[in-house]
Structure 1
Amino acid sequence: MTEPTNVHLGRILVVDDNPVNIAIVEKILCHDGYTRVDSTTNPLEVTERYRRDDYDLILLDVHMPEMSGIEVLAELRQQHPGDYLPVLILTADHTEETRNQCLAGGAKDFIGKPFDRTEVCLRVRNILEVRLLHKAVLRQNEELEDKVRERTRQLHEAQVKLIQCLGKAAEYRDNETGMHVIRMSQSCAILAKEMGLSDEECELIQRASPMHDIGKIAIPDDVLLKPGDLEGREWETMKTHAEVGAEILGGYDTELMQVAAKIALTHHERWDGRGYPDGLRGREIPLYTRIVSVCDVFDALTSKRPYKPAWSHEEAMEYLWKQSGHYFDPEVVSAFARVLDKVVALRQSYPDNPVAPLPDHRNYFGEADHSLGSHPNL
């Protein structure tokens, strides 16, 4: 008896319609130290048993009445494409045609009948060594893929945290404390779902949208925090925050950062083409941006700020309808109206912290009065 090795732990299935042949092979294998040997006289069972028990080697007869060994090979290849089929053919048919058919079907080697003990042991060992090495490589690849996935997840989470931090920084820079960014990003995901975007796309816009105003970090205080109207050069300076935001976020090859940069660049474009910086019109504006624009404005209008009281949900929705087709995509506004109850409920989950009033008053759009004529921040 051969000294047991890892090879002897392999699972073996013997398939032959003649029980005598099975008994001979089992005796040879057991004497050589193999302890996990199964058998069947029914070739119709092979594919299911291989799937269920993950055999490391199949010893397969060729000529069987219900299903030939060549047909079994074809079924195995169909059910397990790309797999390394560990099949040794048991046959007394040494014709070239049979050998070629078996090899073409995926068989790895042959054992002739009548059986020679030494030949059986050597060929079985050789195939099992290759099979077990193949499985070890697969396991190693899976472990490496798991590590790559985990590292990718960690990098993604780091990017998400960075976006959240920078989004809050931009909000505080603009004297907009509270939970505006969180509510806005959550409502973007709700609205995106309503518009038929996939779960992955909904998560993407939720993660990327808080960065839309990051470019305001670069705007001087005397412009950004001016309590009255912006004039001339001041207004031109304020408008640069879209391109600055895209520059801050650009240059990264991840989809999250690319989408965030695109939103930052285009979030002041208008449906009618009168926005900035590029005067995009209609569907030239990315859908992500069209969603962010509606959600951002609605939450800002319904939020209390040092320079304005909170609008009612009805007043804010009326404004969105009024500007549909001008500032906003009409389809996005219609979809937003359908999920309005869900968006409004976010304020209960993420309420604002109180903020101290400023001496002067301006509305969300940077105007000194509370009119809705034109808003430079859109």
Structure 2
Amino acid sequence: MTTILLIDDDPATLEVINECLLPHFRTRIATRGGKGLELAQLSPAPDLVLLDLELPDMNGYQVCSALKRDTRTAEIPVIFLSSHTDMADIIRGLELGAVDYVPKPVAPPILLARVRTQLRLRQAQIYLADRNLHLESLVRERTHALEARTLDLQRNQELTIVTLGAIAETRDNETGNHIRRTRAYVRTLVEYLLQQPAQLERMSIEEWELIWKCAPLHDIGKVGIPDQILLKEGPLDVGEFEIMKRHTTLGRDALRAAECGGDTQHPFLRIASEIIYSHHERWNGKGYPEGLRGEDIPFAARLMAIADVYDALISKRVYKPALPHHKAVEIIVQGRGEQFDPLIVDCFLVCADTFDTIATGNSDNAPP
């Protein structure tokens, strides 16, 4: 049974949280940070920690840091509880490794939803890690069936990619068929570029295919962004945007954590990480998370950038209407050499009608 560790010294808060969680989970309770660290090391380890910022013996930041330093507890998701809503406090907690922040007094339905979201993400990471270990073992033991196994691995990999992308999409009630559309846009660009002999020298055919196959993972890191920011109805302020930008790093790190073998040179892991981490970089160096410029931006991320921005432009949001196709094309062209790689903008213009067809056939009102 799933176990939640509660570390809080307020009896009233513990009572509310216990009543909320006990019908669904087993709980452990500590009223001091030191005791909480002891309980976190018991077997079986807790699946998630709810941690108050203010404790009698040490603050929540110290407890979180200690959990993340210990290899036995480093992977346990931590959700902070606090009556303080200062943005600097929230950012500090997330930088220490917390996955979410729930304000006090705790609203049971919101807490339960946040807990279930983080448990689903953790389960997905564990599943992917276990799956990779299992597949590696099969490859070693059944080398005589390498061709058949390779085909199975490719199918499973595509299914895993789409499934993980869908997990991120379920947290955002506005994305609709965004994953399906952007995957098709990137595939369109890849197929056009492969018609040019000079581009064939850029990478292998396998790597070209991995670009569009990995595209659904580009926003997987959004599962780690707090609900009050991800689902905010309106533009984000400066502090909120800083937190939102962390989805690039969160997504890349989650993918690396799932790769138990640590083979960061594997084409799938490398290309997926490049897309996840760098698709918000800009050709002129004014993007994020690193402010890369020009050719320093991974090519796969440059392709993803145009697909992602085009789809955002033609999609309705609570803070803006959907733009018509021709207006979105104009904006992409205006970004040539500034936001986007000029070569890819030129390819986009050749394929623009196909983009429009994809968008029309996979509208947000169509079945996902």
Separation in 1, partners of 2:340, 2:274: 17
1:227 Cα deviation (Å)?
Answer: 1.8
Partner of residue 227, structure 2: 221
The one-letter code sitting in structure 2 at the alignment partner of 1:320 is I
2:217 to 211, 222, 226: 211
1:347 Cα deviation (Å)?
Answer: 2.7
The one-letter code sitting in structure 1 at the alignment partner of 2:169 is E
8 Å CA contact retained: 1:271, 1:280 = yes
- 1:319 equivalent in alignment to 2:317: no
Partner of residue 160, structure 2: 162
Partner of residue 282, structure 1: 294
Deviations 1:24-83 (A, max 9, x none): xxxxxxxxxxxxxxxxxxxxxxxxxxxxxxxxxxxxxxxxxxxxxxxxxxxxxxxxxxxx
1:306 Cα deviation (Å)?
Answer: 4.5
1:241 Cα deviation (Å)?
Answer: 0.8
Taking a change above 3 Å as real, the CA distance of residues 305 and 229 of structure 1, as seen in their structure-2 partners, is closer
1:292 Cα deviation (Å)?
Answer: 0.6
Partner of residue 353, structure 1: 365
1:353 Cα deviation (Å)?
Answer: 2.0
Partner of residue 247, structure 1: 253
* Matched positions, count: 213
The one-letter code sitting in structure 2 at the alignment partner of 1:227 is E
Taking a change above 3 Å as real, the CA distance of residues 351 and 232 of structure 1, as seen in their structure-2 partners, is closer
Taking a change above 3 Å as real, the CA distance of residues 169 and 306 of structure 1, as seen in their structure-2 partners, is farther
Partner of residue 174, structure 2: 176
Separation in 1, partners of 2:231, 2:172: 7
8 Å CA contact retained: 1:170, 1:213 = yes
Deviations 1:259-310 (A, max 9, x none): 1111111111111111111110001001111011001111221123444332
Partner of residue 150, structure 1: 148
The one-letter code sitting in structure 2 at the alignment partner of 1:194 is Y
The one-letter code sitting in structure 2 at the alignment partner of 1:238 is M
Mapping of 1:72-221 within 5 angstroms?
A: 147-196=145-194, 197=199, 199-221=205-227
The one-letter code sitting in structure 1 at the alignment partner of 2:359 is R
The one-letter code sitting in structure 2 at the alignment partner of 1:156 is Q
8 Å CA contact retained: 2:181, 2:362 = yes
Separation in 1, partners of 2:303, 2:311: 13
Separation in 1, partners of 2:193, 2:299: 10
- 1:343 equivalent in alignment to 2:343: no
Separation in 2, partners of 1:202, 1:351: 26
1:246 Cα deviation (Å)?
Answer: 0.5
The one-letter code sitting in structure 2 at the alignment partner of 1:327 is Q
8 Å CA contact retained: 2:190, 2:212 = no
Separation in 1, partners of 2:190, 2:282: 19
The structure number with the bigger radius of gyration is: 1
Partner of residue 68, structure 1: none
- 1:332 equivalent in alignment to 2:344: yes
Deviations 1:225-248 (A, max 9, x none): 122332243222111111111001
Separation in 1, partners of 2:248, 2:360: 31
8 Å CA contact retained: 2:165, 2:179 = yes
Separation in 1, partners of 2:185, 2:144: 33
Deviations 1:101-160 (A, max 9, x none): xxxxxxxxxxxxxxxxxxxxxxxxxxxxxxxxxxxxxxxxxxx65612222322332222
8 Å CA contact retained: 1:190, 1:202 = no
Query: What 5-or-longer segments of structure 1 have no aligned partner?
Result: 1-143, 356-378
Separation in 2, partners of 1:343, 1:352: 15
| TM-score when normalising by structure 1 | 0.52
8 Å CA contact retained: 1:269, 1:275 = yes
Taking a change above 3 Å as real, the CA distance of residues 303 and 233 of structure 1, as seen in their structure-2 partners, is closer
Deviations 1:197-228 (A, max 9, x none): 55534421111111111111000011111223
Partner of residue 270, structure 1: 282
Partner of residue 301, structure 1: 313
Q: % of aligned pairs identical? A: 41
Separation in 1, partners of 2:343, 2:193: 9
The one-letter code sitting in structure 2 at the alignment partner of 1:158 is N
8 Å CA contact retained: 2:234, 2:318 = no
8 Å CA contact retained: 1:185, 1:205 = no
Taking a change above 3 Å as real, the CA distance of residues 305 and 230 of structure 1, as seen in their structure-2 partners, is closer
What RMSD in Å do the two structures reach over aligned CA positions? Answer: 2.3
Separation in 1, partners of 2:143, 2:252: 33
8 Å CA contact retained: 1:177, 1:353 = no
